[in-house]
Amino acid sequence: LYNGATRKLSVQKSTICEKCEGRGGRTGAVERCPSCRGSGMSVRIQQLVPGMVQHIQTTCQECMGEGERINPKDRCKACNAKKVVRERKILEVHIDKGMEDGQKITFSGEGDQEPGIEPGDIIVVLDEREHEVFKRSRHDLIMRMELSLSEALCGFQKTISTLDNRTLVITNLPGEVIKNGAVKCILNEGMPQYRNPFEKGKLIVQFLVQFPARIDPAVIGKLESLLPPRQECMIPDNAEEVVLQDLDPEQEARRQRQHREAYEEDEEHFHPRGGVQCQTH
């Protein structure tokens, strides 16, 4: 979808039998079905109760709903009087740059053929696979880039491999601090626009700063001398000392869901549905 491509698609389709030209047999061998008089349907009468009947319309078993029949000795050997044969056809699917997920490519008149009926179309629906680096948002591409704390504070140079095998170099100068979650973009490096491939969207880069798990106490003083001073905290006499603990958001959500389900089960047990039953005096 970024570079454009051509894919070969194998399809099985019904086509008019060339040997009998869609007649089902030799010329003049086809006759109208005498049982249904060419309608393809037969009507039978079924008695429901004495004095009441119903008419039931069913497919004619003589001609199997075709309205005509062919003597077995005159039937086309290639299609066995079915007038069509199954064949395999290879379609070339041209995917233009910038096409989107769910976009349709139509092959007009390439559907199943039947005598006397205009063939339908074959419609190919594009299914966009997820990419391990880039996420698409219309004309833009979004990616995440991890930075060490030193890179975020002191500057960095990094490369990005594009979907057309080019290498982009991005530079952040020393002193230009990148915050965790910061978002920047590169113009004209996103997805090509459909039918205007020289125009591209933005490549959006979200930065994730990786903080160290622990810091050596011996270097804390040096860090404090280099960083802005900590804000002084005024603690009142009646303050309570508490402990910070690690919290896993997924585990917490699962715990709350289990608690909610248990609560709903208790509510169902003590207050069954169906309304309040009143005693009649």
Structural domain boundaries in the chain: 5-125, 135-210
Q: How far is CA 200 from CA 1, 65, 190, 192, 277, in A?
A: 13, 56, 5, 4, 68
Task: List the one residue out of 215, 217, 189 whose CA is nearest residue 202.
Answer: 189
Superfamily of domain covering 135-210: Urease metallochaperone UreE, N-terminal domain (2.60.260.20)
CATH architecture designation of domain 5-125: Ribbon (2.10)
Output the pLDDT for position 124: 95
Single-letter amino acid, residue 89: K
pLDDT in tens, the chain (281 residues): 999 999 999 999 999 999 988 888 888 778 888 888 778 888 777 777 777 878 788 888 777 777 788 878 888 889 988 889 999 999 999 999 999 999 999 999 999 999 888 999 999 999 999 999 999 999 999 999 999 999 999 999 999 999 999 999 999 999 899 999 999 999 999 999 999 999 999 999 999 999 988 888 888 888 888 888 888 889 999 999 999 888 888 888 888 888 787 777 766 665 555 555 555 55
pTM: 0.69
